[in-house]
Structure 1
């Protein structure tokens, strides 16, 4: 019998459906992807998909291995794991679900003939039941953080093994989950296995009753940067007249922080020239740097362009140039899927999400590209990785944006220290690889005794 907490939760998410639809319509005005196949979010599937499922129904229960990757970062991590899973089960069919438009767009790149991609069902009992009846997954892999009470309960009731892979849980998220422990503990406890990124994540997950079966590392360390992009970025860097500093994956409010300090540190001697937030005492001749800003979310590209332009800066958008113009005050990285290019172009990166209290973005891709990182005080989403990077010499922590801009300029101006930082960043990335193979092996062992397996 369902607990009172789960019953109340189920009622609330059922009542929230009109609000969810309204939110999706609003989001779709900025990102068209949110207007795609909205019925899938509530467990209703279009006729072409129904026909595909009827055609494949002879394979019965277990035809799909289901991976849920809510957004862009989780989808990229899923892609790393998927390569290992396809090696284990060459004939497997993938069922890939997402919650965000960027995740779904990225996930399309992972599909092969016979695979299916749909939205994650909204966590009502009806939507979840329709989803499971439609696809009959052999097993489900939730990436990183996505544990939904009704989804987990329904999988347990149907005998669908469900695991949490590349799992992470911050102190903030743990505190929030403990406030609703009567709901969160059963949800985590019903999972078949949890494989954590770090020992600290594992300990926090155990506090919620999760069946942690191993600490396997972070899948994102196994990602290989796009070699062509990285080479192109380094070629452009070599041609730049000035050191290049990158504000990477910036979040709401951080560009304004950056702009305030950028303008405050202008000197009269630089009037009419390229602006810099680093004065001549902080960085060697020619006494200026080139800034590159890459917002985390594509729907904010225009907003950030307007912010910078309204301050009188000459802003060059990546989407509008073939190679970096040398007469711009700021380069704006307004493209998706080119972070390797941006990291290759930069000397040092400021870590977005860490200067506002947002928990920080992941610095692993920067390290893999050999780009040292300066981070602010807010890295609770990736606390252990951040500390490890600092200890390895791949990153430096500062108190705020002003200190970060100064530190990045100082690091870029010290060629010996910069060369060492690049080497240490690359070594840090290499030392932590192998999570994908370990996770695939753990999943294979989990499913080995079950009659229905992926593929």
Structure 2
């Protein structure tokens, strides 16, 4: 119900959102450009299909994500990353930072249709979200399509956690659908666990300690260094309403003592640029707007930095840095850029959004707390007068920054470990014959891939076939052996329409769902065959599908084995019971759990196969129904095959192993 309400509200607000972009475009024309991407109506280049999506909401998050994106590009050099954001400034930063080395577009609005189009067009192997970008429809549809979702650099303050608990039903839409969550600190990890987040949660540190300077940074610093020579520079970064007034009053009191002092104000939000300009004018101070492209002179008291993406340059040029959002109950802003440049830092006490960073700074005596105009005046005067103190504070802050670096490497390693095998050599091919997913390690050229049994017969590569209701072909290709299976309908309708299914987009087709599910089960280290390729062909209102999975060497299905009067030992039945318990603990629903879909290999290991129409579910009565289905299949085969090596007491052995897995 909550999901439907959320989606309905978003659909109703879609025209409002588009109108908002148009209104914003009066000041920034970029907001009315690429509107098709807001609804995922754009074309996607073929090289971007089958890659990894990384989402960073705006320019600050893009800066933070840059070292991780570069690490992922090195980890998966054959894949094209799609880097998304929601703002024009973020978009500009992505393009400037990565150029043609990745695909870029806006993340669409979180409506069901837009998200479905976005995922179906890109068919990503994973979606990586930065910090707090937890969009319910995106996360839910990724789960339905069996696309792993990773939240990196996650942070959750105590205040935000209270909000999540207050809106618990809504929060569950997101928290129940995260695969891997990489937290900045242990407190964040504890809070997400306390909220019932079911993700694999790890602590990897803060990406912002791995900052990479943008390409244009050095040129910008070089441009402004000469006119600022001889000036003492006080930078107030990311300021909010209620702070600029205090800073201007403090500046007026400092000016007589420090006649060469220049205050650079960098408002957090562009819509406040004109308001801050009016405040400076009303204070009777001479100022320059950065957007006017003029040059700072000795007559200027204040520079209004009313352009985006240049905060790092102002911090590097500063003698003292004030971090905004901290004199009011906004929660503060990230001090890490100032720490990187070894600057003495000032902040108000309202820093709950970055509590750990400020606690560490305070513990190292690398921070000056301020609260009002008198404390701003006192602190700034002290730091401008006592260069030794300023240098010591800056050096301690920089050393702290360096001690906490390395998060991007840890996160990349955690992501690679979670995603597991087959990511780097995964490929998607689309042509008139349909869409194919395949592993390049097995099919080194697209021309080697065929889902037609006749092709493999001509290659004399068929090494066997199954004897079930529909034929599955066993194929040898180079050093690989695999099973090729076409999807057929069952039941009465299967007699009328043998192999055509009602239209579904590619991600939700039978073959791609089974392929993706097998990959996920192998991430859980469950014994299932490795998926090698899948095929989807849509024709009008129908589609057809095929899949290739690795052949389990030396394995026989349980029905064949027991039919040959080869009884399993009590230990083996318990082993099988424990294995089924493991599958159920991971929420694996097998729609056709029977003795034909359980294999025993030559090394005594059990495997489960044939995951068509299977799914991941929350615990429920289906688990006992699963076991009951297996019991019925054993009873049926016992009635059909004289000497079948199964007796009712063997079922109790299996149940004993199953209960052991659950601690019974």
Task: Normalising by structure 2, report the TM-score.
Answer: 0.60
Residue 207 of structure 2 aligns with which residue? Answer: 219
Change (3 A) 1:43 1:228: closer
Q: Which whole-Å CA distance do the structure 2 matches of 1:359 and 1:415 have between them?
A: 29
Cα displacement string for residues 414-435 of structure 1 (whole angstroms, at most 9, x for unaligned residues): 1211121121122111111000
Q: Which structure exhibits the higher relative contact order, with contacts defined as CA atoms closer than 8 Å and separated by 6 or more residues?
A: 1
Does the 8 Å contact 2:76/2:424 carry over to 1?
Answer: no
Q: Secondary structure at the match of 1:137?
A: coil
- Distance apart, 1:195 and its partner CA: 0.3
| Equivalent residues of 1:42, 1:121 under 8 A apart | yes
Q: Rg: which structure is higher? A: 2
Segments of structure 1 that go 5 or more residues without pairing to the other structure are 266-275, 281-285
Correspondence for 2:244: 255
Matched residue pairs, number? 424
Asked if structure 2 preserves the Cα contact closer than 8 Å seen for 1:394 and 1:425, the reply is yes
1:240-389 aligned at under 5 Å gives the runs 240-241=230-231, 243-263=232-252, 265=253, 276=254, 280=257, 289-320=261-292, 324-389=296-361
Quote the Cα distance in structure 1 between the aligned partners of 2:259 and 2:25: 45
Residues 321 and 154 from structure 1, CA distance in 2 versus in 1: closer, same or farther, beyond 3 angstroms? closer
- Alignment-derived partner of residue 93 in structure 2: 106
Q: 1:327 to 1:67 in 2, by over 3 A?
A: same
- What displacement does 1:252 show? 2.9
RMSD: 2.5
String of CA shifts for 1:89-108, please: whole Å, max 9, x gaps: 11220112212222122111
Alpha-carbon distance in 2 for matches of 1:23, 1:319: 24
Q: Secondary structure at the match of 1:245?
A: strand
Q: Give the corresponding residue for 1:118.
A: 105
Corresponding residue number in structure 2 for 1:13: 10
Contact 1:351–1:375 (Cα < 8 Å) also in 2 = yes
Residue 38 of structure 1 and its aligned partner are, at CA, apart by 1.5
Cα distance, 1:445 vs structure 2? 0.5
What is the Cα deviation at residue 323 of structure 1?
5.5
Aligned pair partner of 1:23 in 20, 23, 26: 20
Change beyond 3 A, Cα 1:428–1:86: same
Deviation readout 1:323-369 (Å, 9 max, x if unpaired) = 54222111222333333331222111111111222221211000101
Conservation of the 8 A alpha-carbon contact between 2:206 and 2:407: yes
2:268 & 2:226 partners in 1: Cα distance?
22
SS at structure 1 position matched to 2:265? strand
Alignment partner, residue 447 of structure 1: 419
- Distance in 1 separating the partners of 2:194 and 2:224: 45
Q: Is the 8 A contact 2:238 2:323 kept in 1?
A: yes
Contact 1:99 1:119 in 2 (8 A): yes
Q: What SS does the corresponding residue of 1:29 show, helix, strand or coil? A: coil
**For residues 45-84 of structure 1, what are the structure 2 equivalents within 5 Å?**
45=42, 49-50=43-44, 52-53=45-46, 56=47, 63-84=50-71
Structure number with higher strand proportion:
2
Bigger Cα displacement from structure 2, 109-118 vs 324-333: 109-118
Cα separation, partners in 2 of 1:405 and 1:102, compared to 1, 3 Å:
farther
Give the whole-Å Cα distance in 2 for the aligned partners of 1:225 and 1:424.
21
Query: Aligned pair in 2 of structure 1 residues 220, 299: CA closer, same or farther (>3 Å)?
Result: same
Q: Aligned residue for 1:128?
A: 115
Work out whether residues 288 and 294 of structure 2, in 8 Å CA contact, stay in contact via their aligned partners in 1. no
Query: How far is 1:44 from its partner?
Result: 1.6
Q: Which residue of 1 aligns with 2:229?
A: 239
Greater helix share, structure number: 1
| Contact 2:236–2:265 (Cα < 8 Å) also in 1 | yes
Partner of 1:199: 186
SS at match of 1:362: coil
Match status 1:411 vs 2:399: no
C-alpha deviations, 1:174-200, integer Å up to 9, x for none? 222211111212411211100001112
The more displaced of 150-159 and 83-92 is 83-92
Which stretch of the first structure deviates more once superposed, 178-187 or 393-402? 393-402
CA distance in 2, matches of 1:315, 1:238: 14
- Are the aligned partners of 2:345 and 2:394 in contact in 1 as well (CA < 8 Å)? no
More deviation, 332-341/75-84: 332-341
Q: CA offsets, 1:363-418, max 9 Å, x none?
A: 10001011111001211211111111222232222223542343122122112111
> In 2, Cα distance between the equivalents of 1:429 and 1:232?
24
Which SS does the other structure have where 1:142 is aligned? strand
1:33 is aligned to 2:30: yes
| Paired residues for 1:136-175 under 5 Å | 136-175=123-162
8 Å contact kept, 2:116–2:141: yes
CA distance change for structure 1 residues 236 and 110 in 2, over 3 Å: closer, same or farther? closer
Match of 1:188 in 2: 175
CA contact (8 A) 1:318 1:335 kept: yes
Q: Does the CA-based 8 Å contact 1:163-1:192 persist in structure 2?
A: yes
- Distance, in Å, in 2 between the alignment partners of 1:401 and 1:102 is 32
Contact 1:349 1:408 in 2 (8 A): no
After TM superposition, give the deviation of residue 317 of structure 1 in Å. 3.0
Q: Hey, what's the Cα distance between the residues in 1 that align with 2:425 and 2:378? A: 54
1:43 aligns with 2:40: yes
